[in-house]
Structure 1
């Protein structure tokens, strides 16, 4: 059981850290203003004009280029805010574009995508639980997130996105009805006809046909990839282009093994391998499988989920974790997975880093899978 005091302490830390990431950065800190003010005039030009590139000193998000935001990582001994990546490289810019099998791409995934700091309480009481992200699901998708991890529970005669204590959703751990987040997903898919989204459901829904009815009512079945079209036994997936052309642009996986037969929802671990989440999945040189799942090296599962977030979400350390630690773990999990690169990288506070972070990791993974190169965004030709 989570201790309430621990949650409140993390909330305080998170609130303090916001000073480094919001548009108001620098305006509340004389030290930061002085640091920027002491910069050479030439260095101030991109700051003032809003064209700051990766690593440029800044004091507001507006100082940075559109794909960047202004952020500092004290956990890595960085007090001066700088322009930091916040968006993924579009697959449309890859040398081979959408021509590869779906399992030859890497996708940024948010752990507990719905557990957003600052969420307005929907159940009538303040939310007292952990937070894992800091911007809306819509913003996550616009920034290039393509995998969403959602915990679904029976709650108030509906299905809600919720944390729980001992498997039960309470008013103070409930975030919102799931249909509100699915509405955001539908809006994005409607507006972006060349994008594919994967949803991983941690499934505590016991209402008969509850999940399938939820997606039907949300108007998402027209994008649903049927289980019959998903390759089993490690066979290659259709190409990304074929999935887009067929409008199979929504993959939904459940952790309830019974629902593939009863509701047509793919049982996640029949198609994916997954490393251990939490602190045990962040130990240098080790990429153990998640308890109860196939071995990381099981090639009969053609999609690999790589978790990289602590047991208790830590907004202060996330920028450090999402940088060097994450990048080093890519090769560790590659070896553990039978020399296969991960397809989904699941993180807390996905934008936080010391510069490139998760987006640099994705560029590396996609570069390796597409052209055996180091960076899909600039150095690949094949």
Structure 2
């Protein structure tokens, strides 16, 4: 009897020991109410949506190369993309569109970054600005610092490919080239000459990896393709309208500068799905069911083509599966015509 009492007391003490409580509370599943990220199972985070209670939602991607391997052409995969990836919370008076650092974004499975580049103080800066100029109150980070982080990620992840979409206001001759060279990113450069035209398939991912050509860079400045060898985005990608005009239910119109979404001479499709004014606490409403509906609408608008890049604000703010589930759906459709990449 004494031994039973001892066992009972020890059991109670263990159950109420902080470490045990932490262990027990870390078993919350997708959709369960939570207080901290640590409350949720691996692969989930605790996020609040509007006035609702915080719940466990997905917090990282399914890597398609691990599910279906990397033997398909690059344009047969879908990639989570962050809009204004550099506009990270923490700078007073700045408009933020993301809460994670670039490193955190990449480690969570983001594989395409949208960056706005400007000349500022004799260097290239990432800014969210106006009038094609960067100012003290609109600058976020030096491009070299962010590019160095991308270099480090590609170095330690030799099977991964990253795409950069540059809204490019750099006027200094070879200004961008210098930053790419100084950061070491030229080591991973995918050359323009290897980019297919006429809607042809891109190289196989496994060949891109074998050749270490794992950084795809697109610029909004058409002249840079000839002067610096940086691919002009609209020559290779079609995309829908961004901002409030691009998130209307049942509509998927092309961006004004883009070729028509039905133009199959461009092998890559980009779907923008973010509001003009980013509101973190409300973004969760955009980032799952509405996002999936938009992807399906844009599939039809693009001549029955699934998107390769899906761009969002506050990419972890969602309801349940969120942006990660949306990308799983896309990869399922692209790779095996199933509704989820896990079914491939």
TM exceeding 0.5 = yes
**Displacement, 1:72?**
2.1
RMSD over aligned Cα, in angstroms?
Answer: 1.5
Residues 1:212 and 2:177 are matched in the alignment:
yes
Q: Deviations over 1:312-334 (max 9, x none)?
A: 11212100111211110011000
The farther-off stretch of 235-244 and 46-55 is: 46-55
**Conserved 8 A contact 2:64-2:341:** no
Equivalent runs, 1:196-235 vs 2, <5 Å: 196-235=161-200
State the match for 1:32 in structure 2: none
User: Residue 150 of structure 1: which of 112, 115, 131 is its match?
Assistant: 115
The SS at the match of 2:289 is: helix
The SS at the match of 1:317 is: helix
**Conserved 8 A contact 1:47-1:57:** no
State the match for 1:325 in structure 2: 290
TM-score w.r.t. the length of structure 1 is: 0.83
State the match for 1:105 in structure 2: 77
State the match for 2:5 in structure 1: none
CA–CA separation in structure 2 for the residues paired with 1:83 and 1:98: 31
Q: Deviations over 1:48-100 (max 9, x none)?
A: 341322122221111112211111212xx522x22111100012332x31111
**Conserved 8 A contact 2:219-2:231:** yes
CA–CA separation in structure 1 for the residues paired with 2:157 and 2:28: 28
State the match for 1:78 in structure 2: 52
CA–CA separation in structure 2 for the residues paired with 1:256 and 1:203: 6
User: Residue 294 of structure 1: which of 247, 253, 259 is its match?
Assistant: 259
Equivalent runs, 1:11-22 vs 2, <5 Å: none
**Conserved 8 A contact 2:222-2:232:** yes
CA–CA separation in structure 2 for the residues paired with 1:234 and 1:92: 23
User: Residue 374 of structure 1: which of 327, 339, 342 is its match?
Assistant: 339
CA–CA separation in structure 1 for the residues paired with 2:65 and 2:202: 19
Residues 1:64 and 2:43 are matched in the alignment:
no
Question: Structure 1: which 5+ residue stretches go unaligned?
Answer: 1-43, 120-126
CA–CA separation in structure 1 for the residues paired with 2:65 and 2:130: 42
User: Residue 270 of structure 2: which of 295, 305, 310 is its match?
Assistant: 305
**Displacement, 1:252?**
0.4
**Conserved 8 A contact 1:47-1:64:** no
The SS at the match of 2:281 is: coil
CA–CA separation in structure 2 for the residues paired with 1:236 and 1:92: 17
CA–CA separation in structure 2 for the residues paired with 1:232 and 1:255: 18
Residues 1:91 and 2:67 are matched in the alignment:
no
CA–CA separation in structure 2 for the residues paired with 1:273 and 1:211: 24
Q: Point out 4+ residue stretches in structure 1 off by more than 2 angstroms.
A: 44-49
The SS at the match of 1:154 is: strand
Determine which structure has more spread, i.e. the larger CA radius of gyration: 2
The SS at the match of 2:296 is: helix
Equivalent runs, 1:97-176 vs 2, <5 Å: 97-119=69-91, 127-176=92-141
Say if 1:46 and 1:89 are closer, same or farther in 2 by CA, change over 3 A: farther
Q: Deviations over 1:227-263 (max 9, x none)?
A: 0111111110011111111111000000000011110
**Conserved 8 A contact 1:46-1:64:** no
**Conserved 8 A contact 2:252-2:301:** yes
The SS at the match of 1:145 is: coil
The farther-off stretch of 57-66 and 349-358 is: 57-66
CA–CA separation in structure 1 for the residues paired with 2:135 and 2:177: 23
State the match for 2:311 in structure 1: 346
Residues 1:245 and 2:221 are matched in the alignment:
no
TM-score w.r.t. the length of structure 2 is: 0.92
